């Protein structure tokens, strides 16, 4: 040995002695002062070390074993044998449902392996935890993992809530007897599913805000305090979605101990392992612990307990912790011999530990998420936990029970077909009483009603308050706010210049004071209240905070100080449109979830709505959510200086596809008043399943009084706002304007009359979407009823006696007016704001996007030449007179 290696050896020996001395000292402290004293000491050491410059690596991880030790496990309260049989039958029927659907119709799809991995998690929950809603308890709220739906249907079949025909029609919604939707969809199964969860990541964020909203309802006295929980079942792959983890700190910050996440960690997603080279459970543990959640790991099944109890020097735990998820996935499909050599073979002491276990026994070592004895204590601890939300990380095998047909394989997520041999093995493994002759049909199996299994299952649900999932609307209609409340807006603003944003905020303030519905209004803002001039509401109704206001606000002396209160009404969400939309959904569906008619007003920067959180808006539609989404600072040229990423010229187009959403781009305060008043009536008095998107702007102008007889037109999408004053003119035009661009249209009307001899009528188009859908509806009816009197689209009816050319201008893309042009008697020229926005003054922007009064005049004159009513020379002169540059770049692509 040379000198260098001798020195190294010496150092190692010294370090070992030193470490041992420290450990002995710590042992002494533990023996003399207890573990708490030791923990304090370690904390002190940590601080001291940090002060001296030692950078300690932060880890929020605990060893890779169950959080609840075997000694702390409560006894299992149910009958394990009966529960196993029930679970097995549900597994079978869930699998059969998918297999049969694909026999009937190749490619219809369905998932077997998600539920196969989660069956025990769901069944322990169904038999012992999830409470149904009834007169004496409001019931728990459960978000079921979308791909596990076959298992949820299979259980409802045993419960007698679904029929064989229903199961046969899984994924065939259009069957006469009624199908079962692929995934949870309240729109299609409004008496069954409550929450659409299959767009991954949405259910966790919606659940967090739902749990918070439940607290809000309690703190505001709208619902009785309750120990009800919000349970969310999700996949480990699903945690990659930003929405899944993006709001978890809200849950801990708000101490939401009414919230429980159950992450089914089968270590696989669709294509392969979630973290082949790492460990998803450990990764999630550190994330959730770091965020302040109570984390409970359920990793190992009971048959690991004897091995762990032998593991005095921690080598087994060390090996468990160092093996990767990729390894564990391999063990789930490998032979006992492979497990012995590969997992236990790394250390002779480990090998020794399992020398008395056969290869088959090694193969059967179970994962915690398949073992009710381990799941039950975790759920119980979650339910009893106080002061923080809980996440249960349960380790399972994807496709559990499918054997060669998919268990643990990378292809398992897509597996929908089992051959006869595979069906036989499945049946044998789960002891399903079906004969070998019948097996190839994959028949459903339900024991007789008086069997001990069915009795047990029903009894358990009875005990827990009823069946789940169930969507039930028990909610009386509200008393509509009085007409009086809106009258001020019908009168106009006189000489005062007012923006529509100011008008809606004032309307909101008045609604909040209404004695019938004031309490039910839920204003929601993502850190944007001052942008919209809503700060007066801070003081009027307060900002909701579960703990009230623990500090003296910096602006306490001012009239409109930042007031937080336990019974505050505003949900000030901070900068999260996704979170705010989740609150909107919770409030807008409370009529079904809680039987409470809360009316959300979500006021946000329009640009950060549809294109950013469109998927949540789609989910809101599916959920039959109600309420008003108010897109503030809307319009591509109305918001002046903010530029390309703020100016919204397309949300109205993005609003088109959402079937139950009404979208309005009003110009005047009275239009908004009519829309809101009617919206409240339709959603909360008539109880229609609708919601609204209304854009408001920050450009101030005089709000005119409401002309006579226009209410219906406002709601249907258009009405004549002003006839031409030039009765002598030979030339005619019909001008459509929306939002603040209506003011440009009115100016164009004047100039056209005065200077160009064109009599132009002005129409306020409040909703192209309404006009478009009405047109489609009429066309469809006409196509299906060829011999009957043709129905005429509303827009056609409106303009049937209106002479001249048609020009439309809005602050949105041209596709909106273009969508209705087919129902006009003559061609339409659309002006709009296609292209990227710019920071500039409104005037410059409207010139750039070619939507100001000059371009409206140009469009009218150009149309008149195309109609051969005037000479092109007149247009050329107008271009000069109006100072329009014909060679300017096209805003659409510049």
Ligand X SMILES: Cc1ncc(C[n+]2csc(CCOP(=O)(O)OP(=O)(O)O)c2C)c(N)n1
To ligand X, the closest distance from the beta carbon of 117 in angstroms equals 6
Q: How far is the CB of 201 from ligand X (least distance, A)?
A: 6
Q: How far is the CB of 235 from Mg ion (least distance, A)?
A: 4
Q: How far is the CB of 153 from ligand X (least distance, A)?
A: 16
Q: Which residues contact 85 (CB under 8 A, 6 or more apart)?
A: 431, 453
**91 or 413, CB closer to ligand X?**
413
Nearest residue (CB) to Mg ion, 235 versus 737: 235
Q: What angle do CA 789, 790, 791 make, to 5 degrees?
A: 115
Q: Is residue 351 classed as helix, strand or coil in its secondary structure?
A: helix
Indicate the residue among 242 and 553 with the shorter CB distance to Mg ion. Answer: 242
If binding means CB under 5 A, how many residues of this protein chain bind Mg ion? 5
The per-residue b/e assignment along 445-477, b for 16 or more CB within 10 angstroms, e otherwise, is: bbbeeeeebbebbeebbeebbebbbebeeebee
* Alpha-helix runs per DSSP H in 729-871: 741-755, 768-784, 794-799, 815-818, 842-848, 853-866
Residue 114's binding partner, choosing from ligand X, Mg ion, none, with beta-carbon cut-off 5 to 8 A by kind? ligand X
CA dihedral 152, 157, 158, 159 (to 10 degrees): 90
Q: Which does 147 bind (CB under 5 to 8 A by kind): ligand X, Mg ion, none?
A: ligand X
In the complex with ligand X, the residue whose CB is nearer, 148 or 485, is 148
Q: Which of 83, 236, 327, 665 binds Mg ion (CB under 5 A)?
A: 236
Report the residue number, 132 or 406, with the smaller CB distance to Mg ion: 406
Q: For strand 521-525 and strand 805-809, is the pairing parallel, antiparallel, or unpaired?
A: unpaired
For Mg ion, the closer of residues 205 and 280 by Cβ is 280
Q: Which residue is nearest to ligand X (CB)?
A: 235
Shortest Å distance, C-beta 169 to ligand X? 22
- 373 part of the interface to Mg ion, by CB under 5 A: no
Q: Which is nearer to Mg ion, 236 or 770 (CB)?
A: 236
CB atoms inside a 10 Å sphere around CB 168:
18
Cis upstream peptide for 141 (omega within 30°): no
| Dist CA 309 CA 320 (whole Å) | 14
Q: To the nearest 10°, the Cα dihedral for 420, 421, 423, 424?
A: 120
Q: d(Cα 511, Cα 481) in Å, to the nearest integer? A: 8
Name the minimum Å distance from CB 200 to ligand X.
4
Per-residue binding letters, 206-235, with Mg ion (x by CB under 5 A): -----------------------------x
Q: Measured from the CB atom, is 238 or 577 closer to Mg ion?
A: 238
Tell me the closest approach of the beta carbon of residue 119 to ligand X, in angstroms: 12
Q: Which is nearer to ligand X, 393 or 733 (CB)?
A: 393
Binding site for ligand X (CB under 6 A): 114, 117, 147, 198-201, 235-238, 264, 266, 268-270, 274, 398, 413
Q: Does residue 311 interact with Mg ion by CB under 5 A?
A: no
**Alpha carbons 397 and 371: distance in angstroms, whole number:** 12
- Which of ligand X, Mg ion, none does 372 bind, CB closer than 5 to 8 A by kind? none
Residues 6 or more apart in contact with residue 714 via CB below 8 angstroms: 666, 671, 674, 675, 764, 766
Of 75 and 107, the one with the shorter C-beta distance to ligand X is 107
For residues 255 to 294, the per-residue mask of contacts with Mg ion, x marking binding by CB under 5 A and - elsewhere, is -----------x-x--------------------------
**Helix, strand, or coil here: 54?**
coil
Partner that binds at residue 336, options ligand X, Mg ion, none, CB closer than 5 to 8 Å by kind: none
Q: For the sheet containing 661-664, what is the strand order?
A: 571-572, 521-525, 599-605, 628-632, 691-695, 661-664
The least CB distance from residue 326 to Mg ion, in Å, is 14
Pairing mode of beta strands 521-525, 497-498: unpaired
Check binding of 237 to Mg ion (CB under 5 A).
Answer: yes
* Binding-site partner at residue 196 among ligand X, Mg ion, none, CB < 5 to 8 Å by type: none
SS3 sequence of 477-546: CCCCCCCHHHHHHHCCCCCCEECHHHHHHHHHHHHHHCCCCHHHEEEEECCCCCCCCCHHHHHHHCEECC
What is the nearest approach in angstroms of ligand X to the Cβ of residue 614?
A: 12
CB of 748 to ligand X, least distance (A): 46
What residues make contact with Mg ion under the rule CB under 5 A? 235-237, 266, 268
């Amino acid at each position: 040995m040379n000198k260098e290696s001798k020195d190294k050896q010496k150092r190692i020996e010294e370090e070992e002695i030193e470490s041992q001395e420290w450990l002995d000292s710590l042992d002494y402290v533990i023996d003399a002062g207890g573990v708490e004293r030791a923990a304090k000491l370690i904390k002190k050491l940590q601080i001291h070390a940090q002060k001296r410059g030692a950078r300690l690596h932060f880890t929020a991880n605990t060893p890779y074993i169950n959080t609840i030790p075997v000694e702390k496990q409560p006894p299992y309260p149910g009958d394990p044998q009966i529960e196993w049989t029930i679970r097995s039958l549900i597994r079978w029927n869930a699998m059969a449902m998918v297999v049969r659907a694909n026999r009937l119709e190749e490619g219809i799809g369905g998932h077997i392996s998600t539920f196969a991995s989660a069956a025990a998690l769901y069944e322990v929950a169904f038999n012992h935890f999830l409470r149904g809603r009834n007169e004496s308890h409001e019931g728990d709220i459960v978000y079921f993992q979308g791909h596990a739906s076959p298992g949820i249907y299979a259980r409802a079949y045993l419960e007698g809530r679904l029929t064989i025909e229903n199961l046969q029609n899984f994924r065939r919604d259009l069957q006469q007897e009624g199908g079962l939707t692929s995934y949870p969809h309240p729109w299609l199964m409004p008496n069954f599913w409550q929450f659409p969860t299959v767009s991954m990541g949405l259910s966790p964020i919606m659940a967090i805000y739902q749990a918070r909203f439940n607290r809000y309802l309690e703190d505001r006295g709208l619902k009785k305090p309750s120990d009800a929980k919000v349970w969310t079942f999700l996949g480990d792959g699903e945690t990659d979605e930003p929405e899944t983890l993006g709001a978890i700190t809200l849950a801990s910050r708000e101490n939401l101990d009414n919230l429980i996440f159950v992450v089914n960690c089968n270590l696989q997603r669709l294509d392969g392992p979630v973290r082949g080279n790492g460990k998803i459970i450990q990764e999630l543990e550190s994330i959730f612990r770091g965020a302040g959640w109570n984390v409970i790991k359920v990793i190992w099944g009971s048959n690991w307990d004897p091995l762990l109890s032998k593991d005095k020097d921690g080598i087994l735990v060390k090996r468990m912790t160092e093996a990767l998820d990729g390894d564990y996935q391999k063990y789930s499909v490998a032979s006992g011999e492979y497990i012995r050599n590969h997992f236990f073979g790394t250390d002779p002491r480990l090998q020794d530990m399992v020398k008395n276990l056969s290869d088959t026994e090694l193969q059967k070592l179970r994962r915690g998420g398949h073992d009710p004895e381990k799941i039950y204590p975790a759920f119980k601890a979650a339910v009893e936990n106080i002061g923080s939300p809980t996440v249960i990380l349960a380790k399972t095998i994807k496709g559990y029970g499918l054997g060669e047909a998919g268990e643990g394989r990378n292809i398992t997520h897509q597996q929908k077909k089992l051959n006869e041999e595979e069906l036989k093995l499945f049946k044998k493994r789960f002891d399903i009483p079906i004969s070998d002759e019948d097996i190839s049909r994959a028949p459903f199996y339900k024991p007789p009603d008086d069997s001990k299994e069915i009795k047990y299952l029903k009894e358990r649900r009875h005990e827990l308050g009823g069946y789940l999932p169930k969507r039930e609307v028990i909610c009386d209609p509200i008393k509509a706010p009085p007409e009086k409340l809106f009258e001020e807006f019908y009168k106009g603003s006189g000489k005062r210049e007012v923006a529509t944003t100011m008008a809606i905020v004032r309307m909101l303030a008045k609604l909040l004071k209404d004695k019938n519905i004031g309490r039910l209004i839920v204003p929601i803002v993502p850190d944007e209240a001052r942008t919209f001039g809503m700060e007066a509401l801070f003081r009027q109704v307060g900002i909701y905070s579960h703990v009230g206001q623990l500090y003296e606000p910096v602006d306490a002396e001012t009239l409109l100080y930042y007031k937080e209160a336990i019974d505050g009404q505003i949900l000030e969400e901070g900068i999260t449109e996704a979170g705010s939309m989740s609150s909107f959904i919770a409030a807008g569906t409370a009529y079904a979830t809680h039987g409470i008619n809360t009316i959300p007003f979500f006021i946000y920067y329009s640009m950060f709505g549809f294109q950013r959180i469109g998927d949540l808006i789609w989910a809101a539609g599916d959920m039959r959510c109600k309420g008003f989404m108010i897109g503030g600072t809307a319009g591509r040229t109305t918001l002046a200086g903010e530029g390309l990423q703020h100016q919204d010229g397309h949300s109205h187009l993005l609003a088109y596809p959402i079937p139950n959403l009404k979208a309005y781009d009003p110009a005047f305060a009275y239009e908004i008043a009519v829309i809101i008043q009617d919206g409240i009536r339709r959603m909360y008095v008539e109880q229609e399943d609708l919601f609204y998107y209304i854009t408001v702007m920050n450009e101030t102008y005089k709000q005119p009084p409401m002309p006579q007889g226009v209410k219906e037109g406002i709601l249907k999408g258009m009405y004549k706002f002003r006839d031409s004053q030039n009765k002598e003119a030979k030339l005619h035009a019909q001008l459509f304007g929306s939002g603040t661009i209506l003011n440009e249209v009115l100016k164009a009307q004047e100039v056209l009359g005065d200077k160009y001899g064109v009599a132009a009528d002005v129409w306020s188009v409040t909703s192209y979407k309404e006009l478009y859908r009405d047109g489609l509806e009429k066309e469809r009816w006409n196509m299906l009823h060829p011999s009957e009197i043709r129905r005429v689209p509303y827009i056609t009816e409106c303009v049937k006696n209106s002479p001249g050319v048609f020009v439309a201008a809005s602050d949105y893309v041209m596709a909106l007016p273009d969508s209705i042009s087919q129902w006009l008697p003559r061609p339409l020229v659309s002006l709009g704001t296609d292209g990227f926005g710019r920071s500039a003054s409104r005037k410059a922007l409207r010139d750039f996007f070619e939507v100001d009064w000059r371009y409206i005049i140009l469009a009218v004159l150009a149309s008149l030449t195309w109609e051969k009513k005037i000479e092109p020379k007149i247009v050329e002169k107008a271009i000069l007179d109006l100072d329009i540059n014909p060679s300017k770049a096209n805003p659409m692509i510049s």
